[in-house]
Amino acid sequence: IAAASPSTVCRITQTGDGTRVRLLANINLLSELSTAKELNAEGIGLYRTEFPFIIRPTFPSEEEQYLVYKHLFDEMADREVTIRTLDIAGDKALVYANATSGKNPDLGLRSIRFSLRNRPLFEQQLRAILRAGAEARHLRIMFPMISSLDEFRDARSVVDACVRDLKREDLPHHPGPSIGMMVEVPSVVEIMPALAREADFFSIGTNDFIQYTLAVDRTNEKVADYYRAYHPAVLRGLARVVRAAKTAGREIAVCGEMGHETAYIPFLLGIGIRILSVGPQFLPALRERIAGLTLAEAERHARLLLAEDTLAGALKVLETPTSG
């Protein structure tokens, strides 16, 4: 058996010149937790709670959800876990709820919009999370698809109400979770400074951010060649979002697919990203890629990329090898 290289077995990830990068795992099913741990994820950066909903014939009860989330927190007791509230969408539909029907499900009553419109279901989920995370050192709850400050406040107020209810009912629960949001809708780019005053942390869902910035259905093969992460509007939007979060002293991660794509790692580090959450299978290669870069060259690469106005120009910079 070939010996694993030190950078694959070590939990700490850093660039060649010593900049620390935290690598977390995205999890859809609890069965993926063992791979995440074996491959030394520092925690779970995105637990997609829609899967316990999708695999059942009807909405899971608070108790059923509690058991799933409790298992997650128990398994990861020594590591950070970020749990995302229900994110149903066109490609993650519930057979027993017709919320995602309509001509444009991904522009419809999806995600946090569904949760806010169905408050008892949202409360059930939040109560299950707060109860399951009662012992967690840091409980981190993240809302998907936030598109305005008002919507973030509405969602946060439901968490506060659930904490108050659980206290009144004398049920063990986490009293003060960190509340974060995903950056997936381009409308948040302009209002990031305001959001960063209220959200505790951010995670960029590049899959949806690209889909909505470029008006390209991420699941439609016919327009797959319009789905370009290197579009100047996508790259500059990402850079602005990261700058706004950092200026406010807020943590910002990337949890979309871009976060493991070798070609984009120098850009993401270059604009200031220091936390990546990826499918666990990508962790070893990502660790190697980061170790082969220096921050100075990543920053230079990002500057060059951000200066390009065209797709062709950006692609050319992207294809110019950086070491690693």
Residue numbers at the binding site for ligand PEP (CB under 6 A) = 46, 48, 87, 184, 205-208, 255-256
Nearer CB in complex with ligand PEP: 250/260: 260
Q: Indicate which of ligand PEP, Mg ion, none lies near residue 206 (CB less than 5 to 8 Å, by partner kind).
A: ligand PEP
- Which residue in the set 80, 208, 257, 297 belongs to the binding site for Mg ion (CB under 5 A)? 208
Report the SS3 class of residue 245.
helix
Name which of 60 and 205 has its Cβ closer to ligand PEP. 205
Site for Mg ion in 176-195 (CB under 5 A): 184
Binding residue for Mg ion (CB under 5 A) from 60, 205, 237, 266? 205
The verdict on 257 binding Mg ion (CB under 5 A) reads: no
Nearest approach, Cβ of residue 31 and ligand PEP (Å): 18
- Cβ-based nearer residue to ligand PEP, 100 or 207: 207
Least CB distance to Mg ion at residue 82 (A): 14
Positive or negative CA dihedral for 263, 264, 267, 268? negative
Q: Please choose which of Mg ion, ligand PEP, none residue 256 contacts, taking the beta carbon within 5 to 8 angstroms, the exact cut-off set by kind.
A: ligand PEP
- DSSP 8-state class, residue 191: T
| C-alpha to C-alpha distances, 19 to 244, 264, 273, nearest whole angstrom | 21, 17, 11
Question: Looking at beta carbons only, is 205 or 266 nearer to ligand PEP?
Answer: 205
- Rounded CA-CA distance 147/113 in Å is 10
CB of 236 to ligand PEP, least distance (A): 18
Burial of 182 (0-12, 13-18, 19+ CB in 10 A): buried
177 burial type by CB count under 10 A (0-12 exposed, 13-18 middle, 19+ buried) = buried
Torsion of CA 268, 264, 236, 317, to 10 degrees: 120
Name the 3-class secondary structure at 77. Answer: coil
Contacts with Mg ion, residue ranges (CB under 5 A): 184, 205, 208
